[in-house]
Amino acid sequence: MLHYTAMASCEAARDRLCDPAFEVSAHYLIGADGRIFGLVDEHMRAWHAGAGAWRGRGDVNSRSIGIELDNDGAAPFPEAQMAALEALLPGILERWSIPPAGVIAHSDMAPGRKVDPGPRFDWRRLARGGLSVWPTDLRPAPCDPAAFAAALSRIGYPEEVDPETLLSAFRLRFRPWGRGALSAADVAQAQAAALLHVDPGGASA
C-alpha cells in the first residue's frame, strides 16, 4: 500500500513513524532523494492503513506492506524517489506472491478518509514496469451507476461507502483529471480496470 507522508521533511516523517507514542508505522519510507529506510520487518504488522477494507476484508494492517513516500501530495514525486520505489517493489511482490493489481493506494481502502498518494502519483509508470495496473483497453459504456458500482466492487473498493465518495476515490487512482458527476468515461475506465484485478491473496503491497 502506497502513502505520502505530508510531513515537513523525510527525517520528520521517519521520527514520527518510529515513535511509539504516535501509534503509526510503516514497513518502508522512501525519501524524495531516493533513500530507502526499512522501518518494520515485512513479517511484522505495521500501523499504516487504519480503518477501511479491501476486497471485502478489514484489518488491512495485518495483510499489507506499507510504503510511505516523502511527499506533501501537491508536488510531483521526484525521479529518484520513483526509481527507488521501482527497485523496492519487485522483491516485495515476489516474496509475498502479490500480483501487480495488489499494489494499491491508501485512498483505495479508505475512501473519503484518506487521499494519498494522491492525484500526482504516476500509477501508469508503475504499470508500465509491471508493478501495478492501468487500464488501456477501454470500451464504450453507458453512464450506468449500477455497472460502475459492480466494477468497483470487483476491483476491491469497499461496498458500504456512498457512491459519491467511491467515485472520488476511484478518480484519485484511475482518473485524476475527472470532474463532476459520474460519466460514461468513468464507467468505461472502471470496467477496464476491473478486468485487470485478480484476488491478490493474503497480502497487498
What is the tens place of the pLDDT at every residue in 11-50?
Answer: 999 999 999 999 999 999 999 999 999 999 999 999 999 9
CATH of the structural domain 1-205, one choice from 3.40.430.10, 3.40.50.1370, 3.40.50.300, 3.40.80.10: 3.40.80.10
Residue 133 CB neighbour total at 10 angstroms: 24
Kindly state the DSSP code that residue 105 receives in the 8-state scheme.
B
Residue 147 CB neighbour total at 10 angstroms: 16
Distance (Å, rounded) from C-alpha 9 to C-alpha 119? Answer: 20
Sorted by sequence, the CB contacts under 8 Å of residue 205 that are 6+ apart come out as 1, 2, 64, 65, 67, 89, 92, 93, 96, 98, 102, 103, 104
pLDDT band of 199, cuts 50, 70, 90: low
Residue-wise pLDDT tens digits, 65-124: 999 999 998 999 999 999 999 999 999 999 999 999 999 999 999 999 999 999 999 999
pTM score of the predicted model: 0.93
Domain range summary for the chain, segments of one domain joined by +: 1-205
Residue-wise pLDDT tens digits, 127-143: 999 999 999 989 999 99
Residue among 11, 68, 160, 164 flagged as catalytic = 68
Active site residue 79: no
Residue-wise pLDDT tens digits, 115-125: 999 999 999 99
Residue 164 CB neighbour total at 10 angstroms: 12
pLDDT band of 197, cuts 50, 70, 90: confident
